[in-house]
Amino acid sequence: MLCSNLNDNIMNYESFYKYSLEQPEDFWREQASRIDWYEKPQVVLGKDENGYPLWFPDGTLNMCYLTIDKHIADGHGNDIALIYDSPVTQTVKKYTFNEVKTEVAKLAGGLQALGFGKGDTAIIYMPMIPQTAFAMLACARIGVIHSVVFGGFAPHELAVRIDDCKPKVIITASSGIEIDRLIAYKPLVDEAIEVAEYKPEKVIVLNRKLGARVPFKKYDVDYGALVYGSEEADCVPVESHHPLYILYTSGTTGKPKGIVRDTGGYATALLFSMKYIYDSAPGETFWAASDMGWAVGHSYILYGPLLNRNSTVIFEGKPVRTPDASTFWRVIADHKVRVMFTAPTAIRAIKKEDPDGLLIKNYDLTCLKYQFLAGERCDVPTLEWYRSHIPVPVIDHWWQTESGWPMLANQMGLEPLPIKPGSATKPVCGYDIRIFNEAGQELPAGEEGLVVIKLPLPPGNMLGLWENEARFKAGYFSKFEGYYLAGDGGYKDTDGYCYITGRVDDVINVAGHRLSTADMEEAVSTHHHVAECAVVGINDELKGQVPFGFVVLKAGDDSPPFKIEHEIVQLVREQIGAVASLRSIVVVQRLPKTRSGKILRKLLRAIVDGETFALPSTIDDEAIIGEIQHALAKYRREQVS
């Protein structure tokens, strides 16, 4: 299938991609014309005061208007906007665009009545329920910048984010449900506020009445009463570069990075992606089985599908155990999902429980057109398993919180290219992706190096890091002048297909969740017996990677190692959250280091994974390898027994 662009010229991938790189302003002007602006931008590509690209700088728009009100104005008010499917509460509820608008506009009115408005920040700490979407849209409606924090993070991590983005208000719910476990959110929010230096003015609490403890504090406002008692607020036009949200992601230090997303570039890019990457038409059901706390949730549970007037599924459950490995297939069949997006780890979890795909046979999946996968590299056995049981294209595509939408993909709405297992296919329009060596020289096909993208990045990419210009520049743009450093390694083949081989920094991907080993090391070192530590990401059959910790105890310490190991696991769970999944800690006498004192983490990783490794010439003492292997073998024996 080939596609026509707005000028009705027949386009294939090569020509459309070339056009996007050679004439980016014309290309994106056309795409921006698909958006209803209050003030149509005259300038397509400008610059901010630091010289960083700003897309459509003189345009004004409102994201809530584009995702909800516009569709009502166009006569689609009674179409389904949200499908809430919650196997953990055994609820299915559908909301029309009209219903979403009423709830969102009233909540926005409530926020205004409490004194919040354009430019203020709000943290949203909620489970996968429709009210999370309402809260995000209500903020967008009145120009409040939201920051959704994933519910799996513990109070300490929430406090770090509170101190960074200083929310005037936190919106939360009484509880979430993890399979069969009730997670009381409100006490976690209260604890985070207590720990944080900055204190929000109000906490809006949705009481789900599931039985969780909801301690009352004087800053609390009841969500239901606020919505019920408020007037509907109108959409507030904002500048194209007005931050729609801040989304924290893991970096190479213990402090998360607050990725700032603009409004106009993002809306343009998402709408482009819905058509050209996902091949999704208005009115169809689109399902991204992720969490609103991640970039996928922002872009492809909420904003992308709603901009495109899709019905989007908000799924409160897991691929397995809610109640079994057929849940995904049931949701697809029940809601006629046409395009589905999840992480490979979710498919691996299903495959583990239902290796022969017997449960798949119970459902009519003929509605499904594509299965998109991202969040981590899609391993070939997972892709093959899926293809052998469900005959639809399985599309691995690569992106990051920073980009907000895919950078490498098989663009199904443009020209589907042959799938090469292991590759996320080719660069998406607007992304000039290269592979560099450390010296900044472009590498030929087949050679692995650092993945970089020539500036300017297309619309939708991050505007900056929240109030941290120095880290923004240093982290992404200082290594190679004029290029964005993605933080991933990879290579291209002779057909121009790209293969992402994994992070080249201390970021790891655990079950599709991006986590920082530096953050975990900070938590581990707060244990009073720990003198030194290293946390590395090791291979895991189900989760892709899991963290593995090595600790050196303080001299003279004779506490039993198993006790300390257990305490550290609990400590990381309390400080970062269960999502960190750090379950293995080994006590060692020393850590392998270079002569200049740098811990050889790559070597530790290779030892645990049982890979062959060349001993670095810089290592200070070779005998340490034997010691580590010995400690590891002892640890494994103890685990088995």
Q: Which stretch binds ligand AMP (CB under 6 A): 398-406, 525-533, 561-569, 581-589?
A: 398-406
Q: How far is the CB of 406 from ligand AMP (least distance, A)?
A: 8
Contact between 295 and ligand AMP by CB under 6 A: the answer reads yes
Give the three-class secondary structure for 370: strand
Q: How far is CA 523 from CA 20, 390, 414, in A?
A: 45, 43, 46
Q: Dihedrals φ, ψ of 85, to 5°?
A: -120, 115
- What is the b/e burial string over 508-533, where b = at least 16 CB atoms within 10 angstroms of the residue's CB? bbbbbbbbbbbbbbbbbbebebbebb
- CB closer to ligand AMP, 5 vs 501: 501
- Please give the size of the binding site for ligand AMP, defined by CB under 6 A: 20
Q: How far is the CB of 408 from ligand COA (least distance, A)?
A: 15
Contact between 70 and ligand AMP by CB under 6 A: the answer reads no
Q: Which stretch binds ligand AMP (CB under 6 A): 89-97, 171-179, 399-407, 532-540?
A: 399-407
Closest-CA residue to 396 (of 248, 544, 538, 541): 544
Strand-pair partners of 339? 286, 370
Contact between 299 and ligand COA by CB under 6 A: the answer reads no
- CB closer to ligand COA, 69 vs 85: 85
Classify residue 447 by its DSSP letter: -
Contact 591, 534 (CB under 8 A): yes
Contact 107, 138 (CB under 8 A): yes
Binders of ligand COA among 371-410, rule CB under 6 A? 374-375
Binders of ligand COA among 124-163, rule CB under 6 A? 151-152
Contact between 349 and ligand COA by CB under 6 A: the answer reads yes
Distance, CA of 86 to CA of 318 (rounded, Å): 10
Q: How far is the CB of 320 from ligand COA (least distance, A)?
A: 6
Beta strand pairing status for 10-11 and 3-4? antiparallel
Site string for ligand COA, 500-539 (x = CB under 6 A): ----------xxxx--------------------------
Distance, CA of 639 to CA of 569 (rounded, Å): 14
Q: How far is the CB of 498 from ligand AMP (least distance, A)?
A: 9
Count of CA atoms in the C-beta half-sphere (13 A) of 253:
8
H or E element at residue 46: strand 45-47
Contact between 506 and ligand AMP by CB under 6 A: the answer reads no
Site string for ligand COA, 567-596 (x = CB under 6 A): -----------xx-x---------------
Contact between 62 and ligand COA by CB under 6 A: the answer reads no
Contact between 246 and ligand COA by CB under 6 A: the answer reads no
Contacts of 79 (CB under 8 A, 6+ apart): 71, 96, 97, 283, 309, 311
Handedness of CA 632, 634, 637, 641 (dihedral sign): negative
Among 79, 99, 178, 232, binds ligand COA (CB under 6 A): 178
Q: How far is the CB of 400 from ligand COA (least distance, A)?
A: 11
- CB closer to ligand COA, 346 vs 465: 346
Contact 513, 525 (CB under 8 A): no
Among 311, 400, 517, 545, binds ligand AMP (CB under 6 A): 400
Distance, CA of 10 to CA of 419 (rounded, Å): 22
Contact between 346 and ligand AMP by CB under 6 A: the answer reads no
249 binds, among ligand COA, ligand AMP, none (CB under 5 to 8 A by kind): ligand AMP
- CB closer to ligand COA, 179 vs 474: 179
Q: Which stretch binds ligand COA (CB under 6 A): 10-18, 312-320, 407-415, 472-480?
A: 312-320
Q: How far is the CB of 259 from ligand AMP (least distance, A)?
A: 8
Binders of ligand AMP among 204-263, rule CB under 6 A? 249
Binders of ligand AMP among 410-449, rule CB under 6 A? 424
Closest-CA residue to 429 (of 298, 305, 272): 272
Contact between 338 and ligand COA by CB under 6 A: the answer reads no
Closest-CA residue to 235 (of 70, 387, 125, 451): 70
Closest-CA residue to 295 (of 228, 245, 253, 354): 245
Among 101, 141, 318, 527, binds ligand COA (CB under 6 A): 318
Single-letter amino acid code for the residue at 135: A
Site string for ligand COA, 192-211 (x = CB under 6 A): --------------------
Cα 614 off chain centre by: 35
Q: How many CB atoms lie within 10 A of CB 74?
A: 13
152 binds, among ligand AMP, ligand COA, none (CB under 5 to 8 A by kind): ligand COA
Q: How many CB atoms lie within 10 A of CB 493?
A: 13
Contacts of 84 (CB under 8 A, 6+ apart): 91, 92, 93, 94, 95, 129, 130, 314, 316
Among 135, 165, 277, 320, binds ligand COA (CB under 6 A): 320
- CB closer to ligand AMP, 396 vs 506: 396
Contact 537, 510 (CB under 8 A): yes
Contact 453, 484 (CB under 8 A): yes
Contact between 340 and ligand COA by CB under 6 A: the answer reads no
Residue with tokens 């995904």: 328
Contact between 183 and ligand COA by CB under 6 A: the answer reads yes
- CB closer to ligand COA, 268 vs 290: 290
Contact between 407 and ligand AMP by CB under 6 A: the answer reads no
Q: How far is the CB of 383 from ligand COA (least distance, A)?
A: 15
What one-character-per-residue DSSP string does 520-575 give? HHHHHTTSTTEEEEEEEEEEETTTEEEEEEEEEEPTT--S-HHHHHHHHHHHHHHH
Q: Which stretch binds ligand AMP (CB under 6 A): 117-125, 126-134, 200-208, 395-403?
A: 395-403
Among 291, 396, 432, 565, binds ligand AMP (CB under 6 A): 396
Q: Which residues of the chain form contacts with ligand AMP (CB under 6 A)?
A: 249, 294-295, 374-377, 396-401, 424, 487-488, 500, 503, 509, 514
Provide the binding-site residues for ligand COA, judged by CB under 6 A: 151-152, 176, 178, 183, 289-290, 294, 296, 318-320, 342-343, 345-346, 349, 374-375, 510-513, 578-579, 581
